[in-house]
Amino acid sequence: MDRNDYLLAIKTRMPEKRYIHTIGVMETAISLAEQYGEDVKSAEVAAILHDIAKYADEEWMNQVVKENGLDARLIGWGSEILHGPVGAWIAQTEFNITNENILNAIRFHTTGRANMSKLEKIIYIADMIEPNRKFNQVDELRKIANVDLDEAMKACICHTISFLVHTEQAIFPVSIECYNDVISKNA
């Protein structure tokens, strides 16, 4: 499948706004891949498929987790946490993606994790800073991503953790592992 096949396949599964977001993630991920020496094709495919499960039924996603041996800690979390891991499962089973690095970039695009690969960082960051994103500090994150991928990952996970704390939301522990990992490496 080439870019247009993937784009056609995801377009039917999401509203227009999410599709536009996906194009933004794709363009940002490609540009970060070029800048930081990552495989551009892998970045393109992971970016296009990253939100493939965003609008999947939550009950169905919980079932996919249980029946296919996905991380048991996912059970009971909402679709915001489920759509990454279930998206990776769809990419593998439906789109025949076998590249584990691409699958992990989809799997961990919302939460991050400890010891992320360059591609995983690129997709995580691209998802946060793509041109359609609008929140305080997004320009600051874009500036950091222009000069240092690891610093950008640190700033992005700090922003997410801080946002979740300030809005009194539960934090899926894999993001805490990501935060601890990034902080210790940058100490």
Site string for ligand ADP, 68-97 (x = CB under 6 A): ------------xx----------------
Which residue has its beta carbon closest to ligand ADP?
175
**Contact in structure between 90 and 54 (CB atoms under 8 Å):** no
Chosen residue from 33, 43, 49, 51 binding ligand ADP by CB under 6 A: 51
Task: In angstroms, give the least distance from the CB of 6 to ligand ADP.
Answer: 17
Shorter beta-carbon distance to ligand ADP: residue 126 or 144: 126
Chosen residue from 42, 92, 104, 111 binding ligand ADP by CB under 6 A: 111
28 binds ligand ADP (CB under 6 A): no
Task: In angstroms, give the least distance from the CB of 23 to ligand ADP.
Answer: 13
Chosen residue from 65, 127, 145, 149 binding ligand ADP by CB under 6 A: 127
175 binds ligand ADP (CB under 6 A): yes
Please name which of 122, 116, 62, 105 lies closest in space to residue 86, comparing C-alpha atoms. Answer: 62
Q: In the chain, which ranges are continuous DSSP H helix?
A: 3-11, 16-36, 40-49, 58-67, 79-93, 100-107, 118-129, 138-147, 149-166, 173-186
**Contact in structure between 84 and 172 (CB atoms under 8 Å):** no
Matching residue, tokens 């891949």? 33
Shorter beta-carbon distance to ligand ADP: residue 28 or 175: 175
User: What crossing angle do the helices spanning 138-147 and 118-129 adopt, rounded to 10°?
Assistant: 150
**Contact in structure between 49 and 6 (CB atoms under 8 Å):** yes
121 binds ligand ADP (CB under 6 A): no
Contact window for ligand ADP (CB under 6 A) among 40-48, 58-66, 98-106, 168-176: 168-176
107 binds ligand ADP (CB under 6 A): no
Cα distance between residue 149 and residue 121, in whole Å = 8
Please report, for residues 104, 124, 154, 187, the alpha-carbon distance to residue 107 in angstroms, rounded to integers and kept in the order given.
Answer: 5, 10, 19, 27
Interface residue list for ligand ADP (CB under 6 A) = 51, 54, 80-81, 110-111, 127, 160, 163-164, 169, 171-172, 175
